[in-house]
Amino acid sequence: MEAALSGPPEWLERMVLFAIPPAAREGVAGDLWETYQNPGQYAVEALQTVPFVVWSQIRRNLNLPALILQSALIFLCFGGPVTLMALPLLMLREAYRPVTRPSPRRAIREAILLSCGAMVLLLLIMSVHSPFHVRAGVDSFTWLSLFLAALFLSPFLCLFRAGLIMQGDRRMPLAADNLSKDALAGAYQTFLKTAFCRNVLEGTALAFAAIAGFFFTWNVLLIGLFVLAAVYLLLDTIPRVASAGDFVSLRAQYQRELLRQEQLRRALRWLWFAPVLVTLQARLAITATDAQDMVIALLNGVAAAILCFLVAALNREFGGRVQEQIGVLDRMRES
Amino acid sequence: MESLGQFEQIVLTAILALDDNAYGVTIHAKVEELSHPKKVARGAVYATLDRMEDKALISSWLSEPTRERGGRSRRHYRLEKSGEKALKESARTAQRLIETITRSLGGLAWKPR
């Protein structure tokens, strides 16, 4: 009988795996396993290695436009101190981005948790601040509407997440383990063409949205962001033709471009939702001008959390698809 | 062309020397050998590999999972054309430095260790 290869204790390995960002987990955890001597050495080695890996993943995944937009939205809803506290968390979240799409069970659980949280919070505000309604200018009808909206939010969010996942399951390109160089070049070329057309279309849409923003009296900063994004997309130097090289070079180019386009889309999704959130914040501030700060902050928080959930869900789903595709390419062999 | 830092030069040289067997553990060992007597943290090697991959100096892929790694794959690395070019340029600079230092410190009486 073959002797079992010695490795770290399961609990220790689990802790180390948890600490290593998913994108680097396979290679780094395997290297640590290969050089395992005893639990102490393994733990020390992991402690010395993981901070570098986390920092490297933060640098690799840092999406500055998206981070600025997210920070601006948090600042708008919760103010400066919360934004300062949230920044490192947002950056760490980027480092620990999953390399797969969320499972349907997890996606639906998150949707239910969010809508239940919104309902509980509204019930709490209603029960604590019942004599405060009239004074605050927020009548019972508004409270009831908000509560019902939160109640119906659950099936809506579940359907939204389930729909995204089903759509993703239907279209996962490059599922093969082996591919010829020509087939890979063809797939890369198709991707480049699609990305170019998409960037031109989205750039034009952003430019129109910026013009519309003038009529809807959007914030000047917001219009500026839309214009900047439109110009960037329309002038983006995406390669039109896949450059020559062997299978490995071609695959590396494909992976880099996939990642770059995904980073771009991630920032743009936040940008598209920003006007909705800004308008919502402005409306809430107008309808409850006399209300106590805490109530407004809570209501704003609920609305912002739901919107951010939608954007994050889109980003996780589409980002997960790209990460899965990069993973498939990583393991692909030339046939 | 991309100019390389000293540590990047060492890591690229390690990948070049290891050829088909360049992955985390072997690269780290080779880097320690090349930077002797300095100790090098393995994490610093990973961070440099990531950075150079982003600069398209190297490319990586995953191997088949193996038992001696607890069923995990190796991430293999390879120099790209731009990496080879940058490394050659660094070698030429180093060569010029060695020649100048040797001349200034008394010809053949001094040799780099």
Nearest CA in chain A to B66: A30
Q: Would you kindly state where each structural domain of chain B is located, as residue ranges?
A: 6-109
pLDDT at A3: 43
pLDDT at A240: 64
Phi, psi of B38 (to 5 degrees): -70, 140
Distance CA B51, CA B58 (A): 9
For residue A179, the 8-state DSSP code is: E
Best of B32, B59, B64 to disrupt the A interface by mutation (most A CBs within 10 Å)?
B59
Q: Which residues contact A230 (CB under 8 A, 6 or more apart)?
A: A203, A204, A206, A207, A210
Q: Give the rounded percent of residues in chain B with a pLDDT score beyond 90.
A: 59
Distance CA A289, CA A136 (A): 8
- B86: pLDDT confidence band, cut at 50, 70 and 90? very high
Nearest CA in chain A to B59: A252
- Number of C-alpha atoms within 13 angstroms, CB side, residue A70? 25
pLDDT at B29: 95
Q: Which residues from B are below 8 Å from A60, CB to CB?
A: 50, 54
- B108: pLDDT confidence band, cut at 50, 70 and 90? low
Amino acid occupying residue A328: V
Q: How far apart are the first and last CA of chain B?
A: 29
pLDDT along chain A (335 residues), means of 10: 67 94 93 93 95 94 82 75 88 86 77 77 66 53 67 74 73 68 86 89 92 81 86 77 75 87 87 80 58 60 74 84 85 78
Q: Which residues contact A136 (CB under 8 A, 6 or more apart)?
A: A129, A288, A290, A291, A292, A295
Q: Which residues from A are below 8 Å from B61, CB to CB?
A: 248, 251, 330-332
**A295 in Cβ contact with A288 (< 8 Å):** yes
pLDDT at A33: 94
Distance CA B6, CA B29 (A): 17
pLDDT at A155: 75
Residue B1 Cα, gap to closest chain A Cα (Å): 18
Tell whether the model's pLDDT for residue B28 goes beyond 90. Answer: yes
Out of 1.10.10.10, 3.90.226.10, 2.60.40.10, 3.30.720.110, the CATH code matching B6-109 is 1.10.10.10
Q: Report the residue from A26, A31, A53 with minimal CB separation from B25.
A: A31
CB contact under 8 Å between B23 and A27, yes or no, is yes
pLDDT at A77: 67
pLDDT at B7: 94
Mean pLDDT for the stretch of residues B30-48: 94
pLDDT at A134: 44
Bridge partners, B76 (sequence order)? B23, B61
pLDDT at B89: 93
**A304 in Cβ contact with A152 (< 8 Å):** no
**B50 in Cβ contact with A52 (< 8 Å):** no
Helix A247-287 and helix A220-235, axial crossing angle in degrees, nearest 10: 160
**A150 in Cβ contact with A122 (< 8 Å):** yes
Residue B113 Cα, gap to closest chain A Cα (Å): 30
Q: Would you kindly state where each structural domain of chain A is located, as residue ranges?
A: 10-58, 62-334
Higher pLDDT among residues B108 and B17, named by residue? B17
Alpha helices in chain A (DSSP H): 10-19, 22-34, 39-61, 64-78, 80-95, 104-128, 133-136, 140-170, 181-215, 220-235, 247-287, 293-331
